[in-house]
Chain A
């Protein structure tokens, strides 16, 4: 990352030397939108963000991967359906399934790509109200043992932005029952189900807990003054999403957690 940043990118690096050695790759597909935001979140959490290009044939030297939000390939055909075939995705799938269990986080469109890749079960269809919806969403962390939720308490409620058109999580009953039984429902919508997702599911993990996908956007709740605006200054925290990134960084450097 010696390159000069493009306009608007973060250049400030948080002083967290302990975590700075952890390298988190952020994948950019054509149509990816929240890649700079995910990279900023990694930096604010103290880690080093590494740009990854969908067309690359090697994953390179990264300790974890974030597949950010956006509209890869315009969501044409079906959200995530084309991105799933990118050369880099086959490397990510292999690394996630390997013994090393590469931590992978899919946010929004990234979650859709992970289900299309069969790293996670189920699928997302259009919101039940058929509109794009952007709101500050309360989630309950149901499982704090995944690579991306170690810094949360089980049962903790957090508020992060949600913004999507195709966010309704669906799976057959058998799959849903299995996810529940195995503790793989990682996040649930609280108070309001914004899209008709089955069993209020906002995010899930694979069996090993290294791959997590969710529709809401933790990377948009990492910096005071730029997070969920409804909470700004009235008692709530607008940086509830930071824990995703510190969780994986601490795990990588072998922190206490």
Chain B
């Protein structure tokens, strides 16, 4: 390669921009609107240079600026009590929120989307989704300790679903397994609404000591700015290639992949290298490079710190020497980090890089000018107030309105519909219905997926899929640990976005409590269609309002998250899919409650009450019906149930617990039986009499605030006394029967566990090999 960089590009300097105000710039091709471009000109007092335009266009994109959702997201910060704030060490706005676990420990977690890349190139899209969220966690100063992956694909029998499913699962496994991070749970949903727009969300959790918390800011005039990790290449540039006017070298590759390509080995080395930097207190501020790459890292670091930074762009190590300044600024090459280092620590910093054989280059330094200045061989190509790039992007009050079709959808209840014809009632048909349910695409065993993930690495996994929550030990001396669950139900949210979002939170909260953990914090990934569609915007607004209201009632704050919009095929949006992650705390993970029955003769109790709530249910879905109202939300009941499950776990009153959600009691009974291959005898007459429902409804209704628990005989009195004292409905519905090898439900033909297992585990292999 020659070093004649000056010959390759017609560099658009700030000086040049001032002299040539009328030069046409491809702002529209870069995704900016006319008003946004005009705003940039106003902010700068001149036209932007090509490099500045590149920076503004990516930083002012929906993905980076939250311009359509910002006005609504504010509620997460506003609807917070002092009580909710007491354990929040770092709130929304940083790379990830941080929650106090006690004993000097802190935990950070966040969920993000990587939806469209995962449709275009499922393996790399999903892999780099894991990579990105893990770097967010490292940026906070934490050691990542686990990942989770909520996935939503198109119809299970659609020919394209296998392509996306195989690629995404292999990508998550290939990347996550190579990082040494146990995958402890997630979700899998098949629905044709996700056919052209699968949802691949990724969650990572990390732990640290309080003193290790790091923030993304560049402070201290004269401190050095360094870029380290992988080299910068042309991947993930997307629209930047339209800045062709910068280049007159027509021999360069014209088409570049819009999807980033991951190198998990580089990331693993980067994790260890960063932890060694933190341990030696060698960095003042640190930021991962994700969306918008160097544009984002420089502008955020500078604007969160003393406000100035000077960077020489030709110092960036490149994989492709033909990249233009704009492309370098926009590149989303993976496995890169930017840090701020004091001059005294430069040598020690370089020693750590050399030990781990990580490449680095010093780009510039922190200044107190309040300006982000980027030069190209000394010529100024960017001269901006970094706040205008990173934080002062456009904010839109998008019009929204309750869709005209919403009333008709809500009026179309399942009971009595055409699809409800021939509802099972006989013992044989009910047995067939239970078997059909647990073999259905959304309710079948996910082990085909989870067996491709390492759940053991690290040696701290106390519980993982298929239990209700993943549980990871944090402190080996005390057993202190965290539990995590993610949930969403796109059908419920479609029927009623406000309550649907609350139901997602309620389920994740319930799952964490079911594991025995005290819920502490929330992270959400809001997957919606186009915000320019008032119907979708209403769904988004309602979901955020519902979620923030529910967080207040449950007393747990949102500490971070992500919004993913424009998830639609043509004009058809996906179901509104707010995926909610809840993190809880266990003082000793040895106390966690697994979901399966184990001990013969233990009493089985159903907690909560059952109403005829089949709208939006898995059963209705299996029959091709979607309409009516989702199950009723009762957050006070969720809280009461959570307290019972947590106290019972702490005091050793229960040996198993499984929450009731999609698929209702039928699904829970089968899952609790199959967990350890231990059957049970069940009678639901008391439930049916008390709640006024028939056997089918008792089994398939998706009423909320319920769980089944296994209670040792010696604890039965104490447990029921506790439920009575708290006024919470509880009914003994059966006993664990270890010898039978069957699930016996009065009024339902005997279900052999072998046959149930074959049905439950056979579905994914049948479709995906």
Contact = CB atoms under 8 A, between A and B. Distances in A.
Contacts of B598: 233-234
Interface residues of B, number: 51
A133 B476 contact: no
A188 B269 CA distance: 34
B644 interface: no
Contacts of A55: 355
B269 A226 contact: no
A229 B656 CA distance: 14
Given A131-B452, A135-B451, A225-B589, A8 B457 contact: no
Interface string A155-198: 00000010101000000000000000000000000000000000
B87 interface: no
Interface in A217-241: 217, 219-220, 223, 225-226, 229-230, 232-234
Contact of A226 (B143, B174, B263, B461): B461
The size bracket of the interface on A is 35 or more
A34 B180 contact: yes
Given A11-B476, A133-B451, A6 B275 contact: yes
Contacts of B373: none
Interface stretch (A18-26, A67-75, A201-209, A249-257): A67-75
Contacts of B477: 11-12
Contact of B268 (A8, A36, A71): A71
Contacts of A70: 180
B452 A132 contact: yes
B476 A12 contact: yes
B459 A223 contact: yes
B164 interface: no
A165 B464 CA distance: 20
A134 interface: yes
A7 B208 contact: yes
B264 A7 contact: no
Given A76-B265, A234-B598, A134 B454 contact: yes
B180 A33 contact: yes
Contacts of B178: 31, 33, 71, 74-75
A73 B357 CA distance: 11
A192 to B, nearest CB: 12
B263 A74 contact: yes
Given A6-B279, A131-B452, A163-B454, A40 B459 contact: yes
Interface string B561-601: 00000000000000000000000000001100010001000
Contacts of B455: 134, 229
Interface in A60-87: 69-71, 73-76
A10 interface: yes
B263 A8 contact: no
Nearest to B675: A230
Given A33-B268, A76-B265, A232-B594, A132 B676 contact: no
B451 A8 contact: no
B248 interface: no
Nearest to B448: A131
Given A132-B173, A161-B456, A30 B143 contact: no
Chain B contact surface mostly: mixed
A209 B672 CA distance: 44
A143 to B, nearest CB: 25
A71 B264 contact: yes
A142 interface: no
Contacts of A33: 178-180, 268, 457
B629 interface: no
Given A8-B143, A33-B180, A71-B265, A134 B453 contact: yes
A31 B268 contact: yes
A233 B595 CA distance: 12
Interface in A93-109: none
Nearest to A28: B272
Contacts of B174: 132
Interface in B483-537: none
A151 interface: no
B170 interface: yes
B322 interface: no
A7 B275 CA distance: 9
A133 B452 contact: yes
B102 interface: no
B624 interface: no
B374 interface: no
Contact of B269 (A6, A30, A232): A30
Given A6-B275, A74-B265, A234-B678, A219 B462 contact: no
A69 B268 CA distance: 14
A30 B598 CA distance: 42
A200 interface: no
B481 to A, nearest CB: 11
B287 interface: no
A109 to B, nearest CB: 11
A162 B179 CA distance: 17
Interface in A139-162: 161
Contacts of B179: 33
A37 interface: yes
B459 A36 contact: yes
Residue from B451, B454, B598, B678 whose CB has the most chain A CB atoms within 10 Å: B454
Nearest to B474: A8
A11 B460 CA distance: 13
B457 A34 contact: yes
Contact of B457 (A37, A131, A225): A37
B207 interface: yes
B454 A37 contact: no
B437 to A, nearest CB: 24
B409 to A, nearest CB: 40
B458 A134 contact: no
Nearest to B358: A30
A162 to B, nearest CB: 9
A75 B174 CA distance: 11
Nearest to A6: B275
A10 B475 CA distance: 8
Interface in B246-293: 263-266, 268-269, 272, 275, 279
Given A134-B451, A225-B590, A31 B265 contact: yes
Interface in A116-145: 131-135
A99 B209 CA distance: 46
B54 to A, nearest CB: 31
Contacts of A73: 265
A74 B458 contact: no
B674 to A, nearest CB: 11
Interface of B: 142-143, 145, 170, 173-174, 177-180, 207-209, 212, 263-266, 268-269, 272, 275, 279, 355-357, 450-464, 473-474, 476-477, 589-590, 594, 598, 676, 678
3 smallest CB-CB distances across A and B, nearest first, come from A74-B265, A33-B180, A7-B143
27 contacts: A6-B143, A7-B212, A8-B460, A9-B476, A10-B476, A12-B477, A31-B178, A34-B180, A40-B476, A55-B355, A70-B180, A73-B265, A74-B263, A132-B170, A132-B177, A133-B452, A134-B450, A134-B454, A220-B459, A225-B590, A226-B459, A226-B460, A226-B461, A226-B462, A229-B463, A232-B594, A233-B598
Given A134-B450, A134-B455, 18 more contacts: A6-B143, A6-B275, A7-B142, A7-B143, A7-B275, A8-B145, A8-B458, A8-B474, A11-B477, A71-B178, A71-B264, A74-B263, A132-B174, A133-B452, A134-B454, A217-B456, A223-B459, A226-B473
